[in-house]
Chain A
Amino acid sequence: MLYKNEHENVDIDRVFNSPAEEYDVFIRIAREEDIAVARQMAKQLAQEAGFSLADITKIATAVSELARNIYRYAGQGRIMIKKLLNEREGPYLEVIASDRGPGIAEIELVMTKGYTTYERSLGIGLSGVKRLMDSFAIYSEVGKGTVVIAGKRRRKF
């Protein structure tokens, strides 16, 4: 099920099996501590890529939300970040969160601010990520897993 048709037909298995060498940051999320590790590594990469402090903070926060979702709902998965160069728009970071968890049946519902199935939560995880990033797409199949692809452009100041 596609939330936003930016990337055509993403194959969840293919994304999940993609090798670590394809990314600048590759973190396996399996323990609670990995959420903070993912956040720190995202921050470091965004810093190296020359993002503004405001955008570094937004990217690190978005990665924190995505890593926590993986840990909470799927138990384990991966956070991968790529530094890319778009000729027209300049450099940008692409964050991919993938898991082979239960998948999401009602994507529109989980994208609604305030909706949560977790008892200790504000329910703004995914909708927050969408607000913080420039692009956002989520693919999920019940029983197969979930892939979130979010990108942030580097702004000139």
Chain B
Amino acid sequence: MKKLISNARSSRVVPVISLGEFLLVPIQIDLDDRTVGLLQQQILEELENTRAQAVIIDVRMVDVIDSYISYTISETAAMARLMGCRTVLCGIQPPVALTLAQMGVMLQDIIVARDLEHALLVAGSQSGVG
């Protein structure tokens, strides 16, 4: 068990902030395929450790979201849902939104919010406590 925790720590790719019932994941790095895989692993591990009810992924600093990144984010949200946690994605930049819409990407199992403030509102209002 101790080994598992240390492994989880060593594979952290983004700083995750625990805020009440929420887990904030601001992404400020380029999401290459390896990183996006590690990010998924990290989010699931943090969910297990914090018992958060919603994970908020902020992608306002991300300037390219391709089909694989979209797929992995959706997959992470589906996994989080199975662990009893909602996923809110916020801050999609206008050119990224345009690109995703043009490609026909459907983000499943995800609540989309405009910015972090909106995300907190949406995540809270659907939890039944906020």
Contact = CB atoms under 8 A, between A and B. Distances in A.
B102 A57 contact: no
A122 B70 contact: yes
A68 B99 contact: no
A7 interface: no
Given A54-B94, A127-B103, 7 more contacts: A35-B32, A39-B64, A40-B30, A43-B63, A54-B99, A58-B98, A122-B68
A57 B94 CA distance: 10
A33 B103 contact: no
B1 to A, nearest CB: 29
Nearest to B102: A131
Contacts of B70: 122
A70 interface: no
Given A36-B30, A124-B67, A54 B105 contact: no
Interface residues of B, number: 25
B95 A56 contact: yes
Q: How large is the interface on A (under 10, 10 to 19, 20 to 34, 35 or more residues)?
A: 20 to 34
A4 B7 CA distance: 49
Interface of B: 30-34, 63-68, 70-72, 75, 93-96, 98-99, 102-105
Interface of A: 32-33, 35-36, 39-40, 43, 53-54, 56-58, 60-61, 64-65, 68, 113, 120-122, 124-125, 127-128, 131-132
Contact of B67 (A36, A40, A43, A122): A122
Contacts of A39: 64, 66
Contact of B95 (A32, A33, A53, A120): A53
Contacts of A60: 63-64
Nearest to B70: A122
Contacts of B103: 61, 124, 127-128, 131-132
22 contacts: A32-B34, A33-B32, A35-B33, A36-B31, A36-B32, A39-B64, A39-B66, A54-B98, A57-B99, A61-B65, A61-B66, A61-B99, A61-B103, A64-B66, A68-B33, A121-B71, A124-B103, A125-B67, A128-B103, A128-B105, A131-B102, A131-B104
Given A120-B75, A124-B105, A68 B98 contact: no
B34 to A, nearest CB: 6
A61 B33 contact: no
A64 B34 CA distance: 14
A69 B72 CA distance: 16
A114 to B, nearest CB: 9
Given A128-B103, A132-B103, A57 B66 contact: no
